[in-house]
Structure 1
Amino acid sequence: MKYTQLGRTGLKVSRLVLGTMNFGPQTDEADSHAIMDAALDAGINFFDTANVYGWGENKGRTESIIGNWFAKGGERRDKVVLATKVYGNMAGSGTAAAWPNHDKLSAVNIRRAVDASLKRLQTDYIDVYQFHHIDRATPFEEIWQAIDVLVQQGKILYVGSSNFPGYKIAQANETAARRGGTIGLVSEQCLYNLAERRAEMEVIPAAQEYGLGVIPWSPLHGGLLGGVIKKEVQGGRRASGRAADTLADPSSRAQIQAYEDLLEKHEVEPGEAALAWLLTRPGVTGPIVGPRTAEQLDSALRAVELELSEELLTGLAEIFPGPGPSPEAFAW
């Protein structure tokens, strides 16, 4: 495994991030534990989760699965850089769900959410505590005041953002700089892949300017970049969700077909190429991979060692040109 520093920090993390969103909803606890063991054995030390994972009546379940894995010992917790998130509503069902202050980024919810996550995760600290979404109603002065207390208490070490636009990254870190205390955001987790490159316009430049590590989520764009057409032809798993919607458009399907044809010519697996491409992009710390099975984890690991030729990179850029830098992407 290869490692890099997370943004401007001294924290060293693996170039692949283990995403755990499938743990619980798609993958049972025993298999989830096996995947985490395999990831750790392969050198992946950066694990990402969120308090809402498990979803619906089972929200919080994913953190609990991770906590039970930590409880097995074997220095599991010490070896892992643990990232989780706050924002989503964690109130229980029934009348409790209607009460305010159980979501978003108010000081009261941040305090409540951290303590609840620590309990589920069976740990006394979180390495990277991430804001899952912007909160338009809560000023950053309040957010950073709450974070300062948690850092002083030793409950969190670093803070990251997720799904932030570029101007909010700037606003958050400028506010942190004026206040002193916390060093501000150190990472941004955003939607970024070959087929979805809008982050290159504002988000990634802002992250680079302020020293945030970029952590792309959905690196295969919901399976679209994982050889979906080939799998359909071979009678495998059919596209669903975002991938199915995209393939329903003839021009988009032609684009994905060209992508798969290019990679077949170069004898490279599509999913591995999509991950390897992200590892070549400026500012990227490492993409989040969310394996449902051990086999999917093995495929992701091969991407770290995959070297894409200049010819292949040029071909990928022709198929997925991206928006270009801002403001030239929309102005002169």
Structure 2
Amino acid sequence: MEQRRVGDSGLRVSRLGLGTMTWGRDVSAEDARGLLDAFCTAGGTLVDTAAAYAAGEAERMIGRLIGDVVRREDLVIATKAGFVIRDGSRIVDTSRRALLRDLEGSLRRLGTDHVDLWQVHAWGPAPLEETLSALDYAVQSGRARYVGLSNFVGWQTAQAATWQRAVPGRAAIASAQTEYSLLARRAEVEVLPAIRALGLGFFPWSPLGRGVLTGKYRQALPRGSRGASAHFGWFVEPYLETRSRAVVEAVAKAAAGLDLTPLQVALLWVRDAPGVTAPLLGARTAAQLAPALEAEEQRLPAEIATALDDVSGGAMAARRSPSS
């Protein structure tokens, strides 16, 4: 699998990442093993997780597979901190104490002395300089090689990255992560311009529109799907509305003409969009992951990519800019 540089940093990752949000809940230990094995066999290196995923179980599952399915040195482990469970509710706590406590827990569960990319999971109530001081400590202490941001909007991304650049010795922000797909193009308004201006890498999550762009919801709500589940139905429901149908049908039509699957068309559109480093795939089984891996040598014709731009929200300024 092709490797890409993460922005202007020295970090390199596979151009597809393996997301683990459902590990420990919808993904069994056996399926996790199959996913990681298939991903690494195809040349994948980037595995994205978080302290909050299944209350740490996703990280434990990865830790148990390291050294068995894959060597630690062959993985780029990205994890996140800042979501905590308090009094039975999940809240954002980006204080230095909470972040560093999350980091120590992540290292213990993963069975490693460092992570390759440590990210603040969301913008939080703590003073920004306090949050960022935790990132500095993580890098200075060798617990993290690089640091990044997750789910920050454009101005938050710019403020954090600029703060870190203001004084020599601070840990530079290497990357940002937010939702981006043919059904969620808001990142193009402010986040992606900020990322390009600041030289950051970009990891889109839910590049398949929370599964809707695969076409499996075109006729009904399949039993056993994420959209039909009690704990993820709310996550999929916004993209089952009428306004999404035209985009899904356009993807299906393009797929038929190109002899690809809708999943592959939707993924290729994101993977090769200007500014994207590596989309994060949340497959639940190796069989679900296979079509994405099989599309490694494929690329959408420029006219198809542009047509999908038009039907999903309008022309993409960065695609048409000579400097993009």
State whether TM-score is above 0.5: yes
What is the match of residue 9 of structure 1? 9
Give per-residue Cα distances to partners, 1:184-234, cap 9 Å, x unaligned: 211111110111111001000101111111100001111111023556499
Q: How does 1:89-168 map to 2 (within 5 A)?
A: 89-90=84-85, 104-135=93-124, 137-168=125-156
Cα separation, 1, equivalents of 2:3 and 2:249? 33
1:68 and 2:64 correspond:
yes
1:77 and 2:72 correspond:
yes
Q: How does 1:1-332 map to 2 (within 5 A)?
A: 1-54=1-54, 59-72=55-68, 76-90=71-85, 104-135=93-124, 137-229=125-217, 232=220, 240=228, 241=233, 242-249=235-242, 251-322=243-314
Cα separation, 1, equivalents of 2:248 and 2:15? 26
* CA distance 1:166–1:254, change in 2 (3 Å): closer
Q: Answer yes or no: is the 8 Å Cα contact 1:133–1:161 preserved in 2.
A: yes
Q: Answer yes or no: is the 8 Å Cα contact 1:231–1:238 preserved in 2.
A: no
The 3-state SS of whatever aligns with 2:118 is strand
Normalising by structure 1, we get a TM-score of 0.86
Cα separation, 2, equivalents of 1:71 and 1:26? 24
Q: Which moved more, 1:230-239 or 1:308-317?
A: 230-239
The 3-state SS of whatever aligns with 1:21 is coil
- 1:287 counterpart letter in structure 2: P
- 1:18 counterpart letter in structure 2: L
Cα separation, 2, equivalents of 1:116 and 1:278? 32
Cα distance, 1:112 vs structure 2? 1.0
The 3-state SS of whatever aligns with 2:123 is coil
* CA distance 1:254–1:39, change in 2 (3 Å): closer
Structure with higher Rg: it is 1
Cα separation, 2, equivalents of 1:233 and 1:179? 52
The 3-state SS of whatever aligns with 2:214 is coil
Cα separation, 2, equivalents of 1:245 and 1:148? 37
Q: Answer yes or no: is the 8 Å Cα contact 2:4–2:14 preserved in 1.
A: yes
- 2:120 counterpart letter in structure 1: F
What is the match of residue 330 of structure 1? none
Normalising by structure 2, we get a TM-score of 0.88
Cα separation, 2, equivalents of 1:16 and 1:308? 16
The 3-state SS of whatever aligns with 1:214 is strand
* CA distance 1:261–1:120, change in 2 (3 Å): same
Q: Which runs of 5+ in 1 are unaligned?
A: 327-332
Cα distance, 1:26 vs structure 2? 1.0
Cα distance, 1:261 vs structure 2? 2.5
The 3-state SS of whatever aligns with 1:187 is strand
Cα separation, 2, equivalents of 1:186 and 1:22? 25
The 3-state SS of whatever aligns with 2:117 is strand
What is the match of residue 322 of structure 2? none
Q: Answer yes or no: is the 8 Å Cα contact 1:231–1:237 preserved in 2.
A: no
- Kindly tell me the number of residue pairs found equivalent between the two proteins: 313
